[in-house]
Each structure stands twice: as C-alpha cells, then as structure tokens.
Structure 1
C-alpha cells in the first residue's frame, strides 16, 4: 500500500470517528451557504443549509486487510538507528564509555549472581550485596588477615582501619555494660578467617525478649519481610535482579538484622525511637505511613518539638508530647510491631472493616493507646471515620474494575494478555484477577487500575489511620482516586470506540509485537520459566494464598 493510500485510509477512519463521536450531520458547512447535493440516480439540487442534516452519508467502504496499518518493519535495533544518525559507536554499557542518552549502549548482565532461596531459588539470583542483608545465608569472609584475636586487639587495629566504627562502639552501651563489655569478638567471632556478620540470631543470645517479639509476627510482618515478601513474591522474582535489589535490601534489613532500627555500632535506643528511622522503609507509593504521619498534627508537633525531647526515656505520655511510630506500634518495647494490629490487609489493598464486632478487642486496644492524650469518644470517632473512608474508597475501585473486567471479557484490552510477554508463571493470565497483579507488562488500563488500588486506595487507609486529613483527600487519596477513575473510564471509552471504528471499516486489529518483545521485556522471568523450576515444598506462606503455579 502506498503512503498516499495509507494516509487517505486513515483520514477516512478519522472521519468516521468524527461521525460516531459528534454525529455525521455536524459537517463543516457554513450556515449561510446553500449546498449542492447529488444522490445516486438523481439530478443536482440546491439544498438549504437546514436540510443538509437529513442527507444520509453513504456507508464507508470496508478496508481490505492489506490496507491495515502494518507492524513496524524496521528490524534495526535502536542502537543501530541512533548510531547511523549520530555516528556514535555501539558498545557494552560496562565499558566506561559515555553514551549520550544511553541509546547506543548494549546491556551486559551482572558478572555474578548469588543463588536464590525458597521455592523460586532456581529462577532468581541476587546481586552479591545480598550477603550484607541476609548474612546467615550469604555472608562469607574473604579477609587476608589470619589468626584469632581478642577484643582489645580488634579495637587497636580497627582504630586505624575503620576508626568510625570504633568511635560508635565506644559510645554504645556495649562498651560500658555493667555485666561486662560486649566486644567485637562477641558479635563477629575471633577467628579472622571465619568472621560472621551478626543477624537477629546473634543479637537474640543477649536480647531474648526482643528476639522473640521480632520473630512472633505473622505473614505481612517484619518476621517474614524477606523470606516470604521477597523470595516468594512474583513482583520481586519476575524482574531482573539488578532492578529490584533495593526491595531486597530494605526487606532484608527488616527481617534478618536488628541494626535496621538500631544502627551499628552504637545501637542507640534513642535513634530507634524516632519516626524518621521507620521512614527509611515505610515511605512512598504503596506504603505511605511516614508521609502520612508527618502530615498529621502528631507529625507537626514532632517536627516542631522533637529536638527538645529526651529520647532516652521510655515511650510514655509523660515523656513525649505526641506519639511516634514506636509509641503506637511498639508499646512498652514490644518488638512484634504487628501485635497491636487488627488484621493484615496486605498494605491496605484488601478491604476489611476494622470496626466490625469481631475486632472489638483490637479496636479497644487502639482506643486505649490514644487515651494517653485523648478522650475515648474522640478516639472512637476518629477510628470510625477511618472505617467509613476505607469502605467508600473501595466503591470507586469496584466501579473501575467492572469497567476493566468488561473490556477483558469482550476482548477489548489493548493488548490482551495473550499479546504480552508471559507472566512470572509462564502464563498469559489477566493480571488483575488471578494473575500476579502488576504495573508492568500489561495494558495501560490495567496499569492505571493497579495504581488506583495499590497506590491510592491504599493511601486513603494509611492517611486516615495516621490522622493525615489532607493526605486522605487532596494529597494522595480520595481526590486522586477520582482522577484515576476518570482515566480508566476515558481509556475504556477510547478502546470501545476504536473497536467500533474497526468493526465499521473491517479492520482486524492485532496487537503490535512491541508489547511482547523488547530489549527489557525479553528479560522477564516468564520467558525463562520451565517445568520443575519451582520447589513448592519450600513455600513458607503458612496457609496464606500462595502463587506457585
């Protein structure tokens, strides 16, 4: 098909689109002019402008398949195209050369990956830095110094090698403990060829109460933040390791180590009690807890007065004017942060009314927590407002899902699942129902829907739970839901109208191949998975729904 023919055909499609959208009677005709009309088998007549609307437009000519917009035929890579335009050489991205825009570079995978764990261990490997975040499984010493050393000898050497660490340790209670100094050898061993990085297991030898609390959580807590929420989760293992390393490190600290909250080597209680400590992980998009706290009156008072507080004192109303994360979620030093929770709602993406009678005891616990500064009635009203905001937020999500599911059932998603790269399981499952639930490798309307639930509906709950009224509405919550719902409706309208156009002119649309293949898309796990790659016996979900197929 010639370029001219293609343009004419597209103009015909857009003309028809105008008829469907505005009505074919709305043509570009000046009201003051008469129009000459000649229908089939009739002589020319003069029609008055108001009579033009009654003239029927002939049905459009069906477009032949060979006249359809073709798939892109340029088989050159983007590197080749840009290199020919700019003259910049094509080369590997690990060469140290500067590639303007990065368009003439070719990807080189990591030189080393450490084997994964759990049921997906055969499919996913970690970058070497995981040794610092899951030390029990991955850390191995590689030091040239040999011999066994006492604590005093460690300090003497490290005052030269790593003086900052020694200075931190000297400020800690470990250096001044009444029951004896907790030195380097206690936490790392004394054989320099067999040193280890301490995990919660080592800390628990001296801190059994805190260890037991840390290990007592259920699914969704710090207890399983790494060995379920990372190594058994599709959103982690479905992507290249280099892309999701940050997820693994944050979750690894939360589960595997104690120095995520008490950073080494001074292990300060005061530091662990401050909200910005929790904010390292509990921030952004699908976990807005820190932002919502800062937007509340509690957060405002904290920001204004925290510099005057004695953070070494226990978290009691008499010692702190306003609650912090630790005050509410780790009462009396409880290290199971989930203990005070009502129910795990998967970061707010599941709907539950926490004010229901079955949660009466848990609700009263939260009211009692607020009683340090507020009346029980005030606290009860706040929690009921949270319940209602959560329930109404899910009406918008359900309205959106009905629109998207109808598109899926009618085969109108562009692209449909079969036109995409396979999901983590090697299947072509609708991502929002039965699939892994993702914001990538999906149609635009599925991505928007995912964001509406995970980033925004979730935020309504997080905002109301933390007293962030702006966040619950204008900031990150309800009014953003409105925008996403409109976007979903708009995209659904576009898809349905385009389908109507295609049916009218005889086009049989086939999704373009760039949805299924590309330099990055070809790296997704679904292309690599084979039967036998998953060890279902290694699942640690403990009764929770587990995606293993």
Structure 2
C-alpha cells in the first residue's frame, strides 16, 4: 500500500470519527437543550411595563416570557393592577398598582385553587406570629427595634429567616401606599396580606414563570419542611420514593412541566411530595388543600388519626377517603 493510499485512509477515518462525534454531541445535547418557548403575547396594556422592565429588571421579564401566563397574554397589569381604595395601591408611571399579588388576586382566574388554599393549613401558617415559638425567635434568639410609638421598625433576623420567610409575615403598608420594609419582601405560605387574604401563591409557584416542574419538585417543599422540628425533606430524600425520584429525575423532569402528571399513567415510581399530597390520580382531582389527604397527625406524643379529637367530641367527620 502506497503512502498516498495510507494518507487517504487516515483522512477518511478521521473524517468519519469527527462526524460521529458531532452526531453524538448533538443527540446528547438535545436531551438538555432548552426548547425555545412560543413568543410571549404582549398586549397593549402591558407593553409599557414590559418595555421598561426589560431594561430595569430583565430577569423578571425573561421569567415571564417563558411562562404559561405570557403565552395567554396575561401580564403585569392583570396581576398587579389596583383599584381606588386599595390600601396598598399607589401610582406608578400613570397607573394604580399594588406590589403584593395575593391569593385574592390570583382567584380572579384560579377561583377553585384559591378557595382550596384558603381552607388549608398552609393558609393558617401565619398564626405562628402570635405563638411562643415566634417570641423565642424575636426576643430570645434575636433582637427587634421599635420606634417611640412602639411600632416595630426592624425585625429580628432570627425570626425573619427562621419563621417569617416560611410561615409568613403581616404585611404593613406605609402612608404613601408603599410596603413597610420591616415586613416586606415576604412570600411566606401563611402571609397576612393587606387585602385581608391569607397566604402567598408564590411561596410554591415562584414568580414570574410559575413553572409546574418547579412547583412539583421536592426541593420546593423542602425549602420550609426541613430541620429538626419538621424534617420531612430529609425523611423523603432517604425514603424509597425519594431515592427512586433522584435516580429517574432526568427522565421525569420534561413530563413534570405538563398539565397532567399522574402516577401509574405518566410515571411508574418516585412520586414527589406534591404527587401524594396534592396531585391528580386516576380517581382524584388536583387539590390545593395540602392537608385534605392526611389521615394521621404526628404532633401529639402518641400519633393519632387527624380527626380523632373531633370524633371524641362527638362530631361527625367526613373521611379523607370519601
């Protein structure tokens, strides 16, 4: 075989391997490639907001543009618009708006979900503000600053990080309609809102893309349900469910963004917290009352059925299975 023939064979093999590498890289990369979302529908009433915030806060606009809201033309005004008389309404660039988007605002479109949430234990999480646990965080472990009239002007860092960011704070409004920085920002699940509603949808549905996959991820619940006093995240991660989900996560994640994600139909193992406590099954619809399916309470020294106290009191209680 001549030298020229050897060179041609080497070139051919090198070309073949190079093309093969490109094909493999394309196939493997496709599994992780971000699929461009359909163009956001920017309505005329939202155009000024989007144009301005694309410069001042591009991250927020970028999140919104890949959301289901954006595809449907639901934008800034639909969620943040305020009405005359709203305690937290203030004028901004010629519009009356409110910074806080409460469950009452979300209920304009998501009426059933908001009603279920308001009936849940999550919506009552702000009751910790009057408990001894909160006193421990604010007085014993931290410090609180008050003005001459006795109003709190600076919250305890221990209370903010350890209690309020998960349980929620009472959002107070200043005279100019802006929010009191001693109470805001806050997305605690039981937040007490200026409009009288309780809770924060964005505690789980992080703004501004409100991804289903993100809301269904176990880390979403684990942000609050962790630690020695409520170690659900650690328990889940070490359980068979958690181990199975971690092993199959890359396969599940594309499905988790879909409207339906039903065990036994779309996946066969590794349910997350939301699957069992909230998700649709073949026989049950989705619920936003996370306590609706819980049958046992672990709070007493000896665990008991969640409705045991009511039954002892002679009350007729509907079973969670009915």
Match of 1:270 in 2: 213
Match of 1:354 in 2: 305
Q: Secondary structure at the match of 1:265?
A: coil
Shift of 1:312: 2.3
Query: Which structure carries more relative contact order (alpha carbon 8 Å, separation 6+)?
Result: 1
Which of the residues 238, 241, 257 maps onto 1:298? 241
Structure 1 gaps of 5+ residues are 1-148, 366-549
* Per-residue Cα deviation, 1:412-449 (whole angstroms, up to 9, x for no partner): xxxxxxxxxxxxxxxxxxxxxxxxxxxxxxxxxxxxxx
Task: Tell me whether 1:336 sits opposite 2:289 in the alignment.
Answer: yes
Alpha-carbon distance in 2 for matches of 1:206, 1:250: 25
- For the 8 Å contact 1:298–1:323, the answer to whether it is kept is yes
- For the 8 Å contact 1:354–1:363, the answer to whether it is kept is no
* Per-residue Cα deviation, 1:289-341 (whole angstroms, up to 9, x for no partner): 01101101111111110111111242312212222101111132200001111
Match of 1:88 in 2: none
Alpha-carbon distance in 2 for matches of 1:323, 1:361: 26
Match of 1:215 in 2: 118
Task: Tell me whether 1:156 sits opposite 2:55 in the alignment.
Answer: no
Which of the residues 124, 129, 134 maps onto 1:224? 124
Task: Tell me whether 1:185 sits opposite 2:77 in the alignment.
Answer: yes
Alpha-carbon distance in 2 for matches of 1:207, 1:355: 28
- For the 8 Å contact 1:174–1:182, the answer to whether it is kept is yes
Q: Secondary structure at the match of 1:287?
A: coil
Q: 1:224 to 1:344 in 2, by over 3 A?
A: farther
Alpha-carbon distance in 2 for matches of 1:290, 1:362: 27
Q: What pairs with 1:117-516 in structure 2 (closer than 5 Å)?
A: 150-177=45-72, 181-189=73-81, 191-192=91-92, 194-196=96-98, 197-217=100-120, 221-226=121-126, 228-229=127-128, 231-238=129-136, 239=139, 240=143, 241-242=155-156, 243-246=158-161, 247-252=163-168, 253-255=188-190, 256-309=199-252, 310-313=255-258, 314-317=260-263, 318-320=265-267, 321-332=269-280, 333-342=286-295, 344-345=297-298, 348-354=299-305, 362=319
- For the 8 Å contact 1:355–1:363, the answer to whether it is kept is no
- For the 8 Å contact 2:297–2:306, the answer to whether it is kept is no
- For the 8 Å contact 2:167–2:189, the answer to whether it is kept is yes
Q: 1:205 to 1:364 in 2, by over 3 A?
A: closer
Q: Greater Rg, structure 1 or structure 2?
A: 1
Q: 1:319 to 1:151 in 2, by over 3 A?
A: same
Structure 2 gaps of 5+ residues are 1-43, 83-90, 144-154, 169-187, 191-198, 281-285
Shift of 1:349: 4.2
- For the 8 Å contact 1:341–1:362, the answer to whether it is kept is no
Poorly superposed stretches of 4+, deviation over 4 Å: 355-365
For the aligned residue pairs, the C-alpha RMSD in angstroms reads: 2.6
- For the 8 Å contact 1:342–1:354, the answer to whether it is kept is yes
Alpha-carbon distance in 2 for matches of 1:234, 1:185: 40
* Per-residue Cα deviation, 1:197-253 (whole angstroms, up to 9, x for no partner): 201111111100110110112xxx101011x12x22122134234121121111112
Match of 2:185 in 1: none
Report the TM-score, using the length of structure 1 for normalisation: 0.35
Alpha-carbon distance in 1 for matches of 2:67, 2:231: 32
Match of 1:534 in 2: none
Q: Secondary structure at the match of 1:326?
A: helix
Aligned length: 207
Q: What pairs with 1:9-28 in structure 2 (closer than 5 Å)?
A: none
Alpha-carbon distance in 2 for matches of 1:205, 1:356: 33
Alpha-carbon distance in 2 for matches of 1:341, 1:293: 16
Q: 1:298 to 1:195 in 2, by over 3 A?
A: same
